[in-house]
Homo-oligomer: A and B are copies of this chain.
């Protein structure tokens, strides 16, 4: 019968659709993660907040996930990658400027005395070197210098381009969250202008979802058109207590998922997970893998100290990911 034939075709069409649909869901969204408690907890959380009609359902507009960058999405050893960029830039500049070469913090940078640069609660020496290498140019000029550096520099131990050193399991996590309606943000002590050069290409995170340390630019109308000059005025350091402050300033609502790796992320883990009216998740990447990456927590080579947040993790319910045991692959 004509109608039956049509109905059969429809059934067949729906069967194909359903098969594909089912397959998409059945595929492992986190293949580089071993079947650990962490992986199960991540998936359980995502399923819980996305189940339409359930009590814990969170509307997509409120599915905000914030990720630290250095040590969470890519390494921060032997020094944070932006510090490596700054040292390379300052080496160039100091070779042409004897006053600059005489600056004690410049000398610390050139001799690799990271301890001296990171001294003090706000890493004043590093900030000074950042100022020398991150201000006085237009934003486009700065962008070009970052691109050029990335294209021509390799990591000393891991021997890859720096932007080819993101953790594959975290990339999968970013994608998995976005596929479930989350908006993924970077919230990093690193410079916003530095990260925005490559964040969209490398992480699929557009510039407007990158929150980082920043200072005011200065608007100027030149013959060539309007430009923004980078300055160090009104510096905002997006670290420690600055992270929830930056999140409020840029996003204006509380995240429901937060990913970090150091005590610098403790305040944003607290802001995300303590007495949040929405269900929430906090996760700490614990660097335990000396063979494939680095192993450190309380005594890192440069930045990335993890003592307090690790100590608080059990009482706060934060997941602690053991890089060595929980990840079957680290790199793409």
Q: Give the residues from 185 to 219 in chain A that come closer than 8 angstroms, CB to CB, to chain B.
A: 192-193, 196, 200, 206-208, 210, 214, 216-219
- Closest Cβ of chain B to A248, distance in Å, is 5
- Does B252 lie within 8 Å of A208, measured CB to CB? yes
The segment from A1-9, A88-96, A144-152 that touches chain B is A1-9
User: Looking at the complex, which one of B2, B193, B228, B267 makes contact with A244 (CB distance below 8 Å)?
Assistant: B228
**A103 in the interface, Cβ–Cβ < 8 Å?**
no
User: Looking at the complex, which one of B6, B218, B225 makes contact with A9 (CB distance below 8 Å)?
Assistant: B6
A selection of 19 A-B contacts at a CB cut-off of 8 Å is A6-B9, A61-B200, A61-B206, A139-B248, A183-B208, A192-B252, A208-B250, A208-B251, A208-B252, A210-B252, A219-B271, A221-B274, A224-B275, A225-B275, A226-B244, A226-B274, A226-B275, A228-B245, A250-B250
Closest to A241 in B: B219
A276, B2: Cα distance in complex, Å: 60
Set of chain B residues within 8 Å of A193, measured between Cβ atoms? 252
Set of chain B residues within 8 Å of A228, measured between Cβ atoms? 244-245, 248
A252, B208: Cα distance in complex, Å: 6
- Closest Cβ of chain B to A238, distance in Å, is 11
Tally of A interface residues using CB under 8 Å: 43
- Closest Cβ of chain B to A196, distance in Å, is 5
Closest to A64 in B: B208
Set of chain B residues within 8 Å of A270, measured between Cβ atoms? 221, 226
A4, B265: Cα distance in complex, Å: 65
Set of chain B residues within 8 Å of A252, measured between Cβ atoms? 192-193, 196, 207-208, 210
Set of chain B residues within 8 Å of A241, measured between Cβ atoms? 218-219
User: Looking at the complex, which one of B1, B9, B236, B271 makes contact with A234 (CB distance below 8 Å)?
Assistant: B236
- Does B218 lie within 8 Å of A245, measured CB to CB? yes
The answer to whether A216 and B200 touch (CB under 8 A), given A6-B5, A225-B275, A275-B226, is no
